[in-house]
Structure 1
Amino acid sequence: MINHVSIGVRDVARSKIFYDAALKPLGYRLLSDGETSLGYGDGSVVLWVQKAERPVPSDMASGLHFCFDAPSRKSVADFHKAAMGAGGKDNGEAGLRADYGDDYYAAFVVDPDGYRLEAYCGAAK
Protein backbone atom coordinates (compact mmCIF):
# COMPACT_ATOMS: atom_id res chain seq x y z
CA MET A 1 0.00 0.00 0.00
CA ILE A 2 2.77 2.49 0.85
CA ASN A 3 5.60 2.91 -1.65
CA HIS A 4 7.90 4.98 0.56
CA VAL A 5 8.04 7.34 3.53
CA SER A 6 10.03 10.58 3.78
CA ILE A 7 11.16 12.16 7.02
CA GLY A 8 12.80 15.54 7.60
CA VAL A 9 15.92 15.82 9.75
CA ARG A 10 18.16 18.60 11.01
CA ASP A 11 21.51 16.96 10.23
CA VAL A 12 21.77 14.52 7.31
CA ALA A 13 25.32 13.44 8.20
CA ARG A 14 24.30 12.54 11.76
CA SER A 15 21.23 10.71 10.47
CA LYS A 16 23.38 8.76 7.99
CA ILE A 17 25.52 7.39 10.84
CA PHE A 18 22.39 6.36 12.74
CA TYR A 19 20.40 4.84 9.87
CA ASP A 20 23.39 3.07 8.29
CA ALA A 21 23.98 1.29 11.60
CA ALA A 22 20.39 0.69 12.70
CA LEU A 23 19.04 -0.61 9.38
CA LYS A 24 21.99 -2.82 8.43
CA PRO A 25 20.96 -5.74 10.72
CA LEU A 26 17.53 -5.69 9.07
CA GLY A 27 18.98 -6.09 5.57
CA TYR A 28 18.31 -2.51 4.47
CA ARG A 29 21.08 -0.44 2.96
CA LEU A 30 21.81 3.04 1.67
CA LEU A 31 20.69 3.16 -1.98
CA SER A 32 20.83 6.91 -2.56
CA ASP A 33 23.44 9.13 -0.92
CA GLY A 34 23.23 12.89 -1.39
CA GLU A 35 24.20 15.98 0.56
CA THR A 36 20.60 16.72 1.46
CA SER A 37 18.90 13.32 1.24
CA LEU A 38 19.46 9.63 1.87
CA GLY A 39 17.43 6.72 0.55
CA TYR A 40 17.27 3.32 2.28
CA GLY A 41 15.77 0.03 1.18
CA ASP A 42 16.45 -3.55 0.14
CA GLY A 43 16.03 -3.14 -3.62
CA SER A 44 14.18 0.14 -3.96
CA VAL A 45 14.09 3.12 -1.64
CA VAL A 46 11.36 2.82 0.99
CA LEU A 47 12.70 5.38 3.48
CA TRP A 48 13.88 8.84 2.45
CA VAL A 49 15.74 10.90 5.05
CA GLN A 50 15.92 14.53 3.97
CA LYS A 51 17.30 17.80 5.27
CA ALA A 52 14.35 19.92 6.36
CA GLU A 53 13.97 23.51 7.50
CA ARG A 54 11.26 22.52 9.96
CA PRO A 55 11.41 18.81 10.85
CA VAL A 56 8.33 17.45 12.57
CA PRO A 57 8.78 18.09 16.29
CA SER A 58 9.35 15.02 18.42
CA ASP A 59 6.16 14.05 20.25
CA MET A 60 6.16 10.75 22.13
CA ALA A 61 2.40 11.07 22.63
CA SER A 62 1.61 11.47 18.91
CA GLY A 63 1.36 7.75 18.17
CA LEU A 64 3.57 8.16 15.09
CA HIS A 65 6.21 5.51 14.57
CA PHE A 66 7.74 3.53 11.71
CA CYS A 67 8.01 -0.25 11.85
CA PHE A 68 10.58 -2.16 9.79
CA ASP A 69 10.31 -5.85 8.97
CA ALA A 70 13.15 -7.91 10.41
CA PRO A 71 14.22 -11.30 9.03
CA SER A 72 14.85 -12.84 12.46
CA ARG A 73 14.61 -12.23 16.17
CA LYS A 74 18.40 -11.88 16.26
CA SER A 75 18.22 -9.07 13.70
CA VAL A 76 15.66 -7.29 15.92
CA ALA A 77 18.10 -7.43 18.84
CA ASP A 78 20.98 -6.37 16.58
CA PHE A 79 18.89 -3.42 15.31
CA HIS A 80 18.35 -2.24 18.89
CA LYS A 81 22.01 -2.61 19.82
CA ALA A 82 23.22 -0.86 16.64
CA ALA A 83 20.75 1.99 17.06
CA MET A 84 21.85 2.54 20.66
CA GLY A 85 25.49 2.60 19.57
CA ALA A 86 24.78 5.14 16.83
CA GLY A 87 23.05 7.81 18.91
CA GLY A 88 19.57 6.38 19.33
CA LYS A 89 17.56 6.26 22.53
CA ASP A 90 15.95 3.16 24.00
CA ASN A 91 12.18 2.94 23.72
CA GLY A 92 11.84 -0.80 24.40
CA GLU A 93 14.46 -3.55 24.32
CA ALA A 94 14.13 -6.55 22.01
CA GLY A 95 11.61 -9.07 23.28
CA LEU A 96 8.23 -10.73 22.88
CA ARG A 97 5.21 -8.46 23.01
CA ALA A 98 2.53 -11.00 23.94
CA ASP A 99 -0.16 -8.31 24.05
CA TYR A 100 0.42 -7.82 20.27
CA GLY A 101 0.51 -11.54 19.41
CA ASP A 102 2.08 -14.84 20.45
CA ASP A 103 5.11 -14.45 18.16
CA TYR A 104 5.36 -10.65 18.05
CA TYR A 105 9.06 -9.98 18.67
CA ALA A 106 10.10 -6.33 18.48
CA ALA A 107 12.43 -3.61 19.67
CA PHE A 108 11.80 0.12 19.82
CA VAL A 109 14.20 3.07 19.52
CA VAL A 110 14.11 6.82 19.00
CA ASP A 111 16.38 8.33 16.35
CA PRO A 112 18.47 11.50 16.92
CA ASP A 113 15.60 13.69 15.65
CA GLY A 114 12.95 12.08 17.84
CA TYR A 115 11.34 9.71 15.33
CA ARG A 116 10.15 6.48 16.95
CA LEU A 117 11.23 3.32 15.14
CA GLU A 118 10.40 -0.34 15.59
CA ALA A 119 11.94 -3.53 14.21
CA TYR A 120 9.55 -6.49 14.11
CA CYS A 121 9.79 -10.21 13.43
CA GLY A 122 6.68 -12.38 13.57
CA ALA A 123 8.39 -15.71 13.00
CA ALA A 124 8.03 -18.32 15.70
CA LYS A 125 11.16 -18.91 17.76
Structure 2
Amino acid sequence: MSTSDEDNWQEAALAPFFDAARRQAPTPSTDLMARVLEDAEAAQVRYAAATRPVAPRAGLWARIRQGLGGWPAMTGLAAAGLAGVWIGLALPEVLPGLEPTAGDYVVDIAPDLALETGGGF
Protein backbone atom coordinates (compact mmCIF):
# COMPACT_ATOMS: atom_id res chain seq x y z
CA MET A 1 0.00 0.00 0.00
CA SER A 2 1.20 3.49 -0.75
CA THR A 3 1.12 6.39 1.64
CA SER A 4 -1.76 8.12 -0.08
CA ASP A 5 -3.85 4.90 -0.04
CA GLU A 6 -3.17 4.50 3.65
CA ASP A 7 -4.20 8.13 4.33
CA ASN A 8 -7.40 7.69 2.34
CA TRP A 9 -8.28 4.51 4.28
CA GLN A 10 -7.74 6.29 7.61
CA GLU A 11 -9.89 9.25 6.54
CA ALA A 12 -12.62 6.90 5.35
CA ALA A 13 -12.53 4.96 8.63
CA LEU A 14 -12.75 8.11 10.75
CA ALA A 15 -15.30 9.99 8.59
CA PRO A 16 -18.41 8.70 10.43
CA PHE A 17 -17.00 9.83 13.74
CA PHE A 18 -16.23 13.31 12.43
CA ASP A 19 -19.69 13.59 10.88
CA ALA A 20 -21.34 12.59 14.17
CA ALA A 21 -19.23 15.18 16.02
CA ARG A 22 -20.26 17.91 13.54
CA ARG A 23 -23.95 17.10 13.90
CA GLN A 24 -23.94 17.23 17.70
CA ALA A 25 -23.55 20.85 18.82
CA PRO A 26 -21.66 21.08 22.10
CA THR A 27 -23.62 22.86 24.81
CA PRO A 28 -21.90 23.76 28.06
CA SER A 29 -23.66 23.05 31.30
CA THR A 30 -25.28 25.89 33.21
CA ASP A 31 -22.85 25.30 36.09
CA LEU A 32 -19.86 25.77 33.78
CA MET A 33 -21.35 28.93 32.29
CA ALA A 34 -22.02 30.35 35.79
CA ARG A 35 -18.40 29.70 36.84
CA VAL A 36 -17.04 31.26 33.63
CA LEU A 37 -19.16 34.39 34.08
CA GLU A 38 -18.18 34.63 37.75
CA ASP A 39 -14.48 34.47 36.81
CA ALA A 40 -15.01 37.07 34.09
CA GLU A 41 -16.67 39.49 36.52
CA ALA A 42 -13.85 39.02 39.04
CA ALA A 43 -11.28 39.71 36.30
CA GLN A 44 -13.13 42.87 35.30
CA VAL A 45 -13.11 44.14 38.88
CA ARG A 46 -9.36 43.44 39.21
CA TYR A 47 -8.67 45.14 35.89
CA ALA A 48 -10.73 48.22 36.80
CA ALA A 49 -8.93 48.51 40.14
CA ALA A 50 -5.52 48.13 38.49
CA THR A 51 -6.17 50.75 35.81
CA ARG A 52 -7.77 53.37 38.05
CA PRO A 53 -5.68 56.55 37.71
CA VAL A 54 -3.81 57.54 40.83
CA ALA A 55 -3.19 61.22 41.47
CA PRO A 56 0.54 61.91 41.69
CA ARG A 57 1.80 62.95 45.08
CA ALA A 58 3.09 66.49 45.28
CA GLY A 59 6.85 66.83 45.69
CA LEU A 60 8.65 68.41 48.63
CA TRP A 61 9.02 71.86 47.05
CA ALA A 62 5.39 71.91 45.94
CA ARG A 63 4.27 71.13 49.49
CA ILE A 64 6.55 73.82 50.94
CA ARG A 65 5.26 76.36 48.41
CA GLN A 66 1.68 75.43 49.23
CA GLY A 67 2.37 75.62 52.97
CA LEU A 68 3.79 79.13 52.64
CA GLY A 69 0.80 80.39 50.70
CA GLY A 70 1.61 79.75 47.05
CA TRP A 71 3.57 81.77 44.51
CA PRO A 72 2.46 85.26 45.65
CA ALA A 73 3.70 84.61 49.17
CA MET A 74 6.91 83.04 47.85
CA THR A 75 7.71 86.10 45.72
CA GLY A 76 7.12 88.40 48.69
CA LEU A 77 9.35 86.21 50.86
CA ALA A 78 12.07 86.18 48.20
CA ALA A 79 11.90 89.98 47.81
CA ALA A 80 12.14 90.50 51.57
CA GLY A 81 15.09 88.10 51.77
CA LEU A 82 16.95 89.82 48.95
CA ALA A 83 16.25 93.24 50.47
CA GLY A 84 17.67 92.02 53.79
CA VAL A 85 20.82 90.72 52.13
CA TRP A 86 21.24 93.95 50.19
CA ILE A 87 20.75 96.14 53.27
CA GLY A 88 23.16 93.94 55.22
CA LEU A 89 25.87 94.11 52.58
CA ALA A 90 25.42 97.74 51.57
CA LEU A 91 25.64 99.23 55.06
CA PRO A 92 26.05 103.03 54.83
CA GLU A 93 29.24 104.62 56.12
CA VAL A 94 27.43 107.14 58.29
CA LEU A 95 23.77 107.48 59.11
CA PRO A 96 22.55 111.06 58.74
CA GLY A 97 22.57 112.98 62.03
CA LEU A 98 24.64 110.46 64.00
CA GLU A 99 28.27 110.51 65.00
CA PRO A 100 29.85 107.22 63.99
CA THR A 101 31.14 105.09 66.80
CA ALA A 102 32.43 101.54 66.79
CA GLY A 103 29.23 100.06 68.19
CA ASP A 104 26.72 101.81 65.94
CA TYR A 105 26.60 99.22 63.21
CA VAL A 106 28.01 95.96 64.47
CA VAL A 107 27.21 93.86 67.49
CA ASP A 108 30.30 91.80 68.13
CA ILE A 109 29.23 88.37 69.30
CA ALA A 110 32.78 87.00 69.04
CA PRO A 111 35.13 89.63 70.48
CA ASP A 112 38.17 87.35 70.06
CA LEU A 113 37.88 87.65 66.30
CA ALA A 114 39.05 90.83 64.64
CA LEU A 115 35.95 92.26 62.98
CA GLU A 116 36.48 95.02 60.49
CA THR A 117 33.70 97.54 60.15
CA GLY A 118 34.41 98.92 56.72
CA GLY A 119 33.90 102.49 57.99
CA GLY A 120 37.42 102.86 59.28
CA PHE A 121 36.48 103.14 62.95
TM-score by length of 2: 0.22
TM-score by length of 1: 0.21
Larger proportion of strand: 1
Larger Rg: 2
Larger proportion of helix: 2
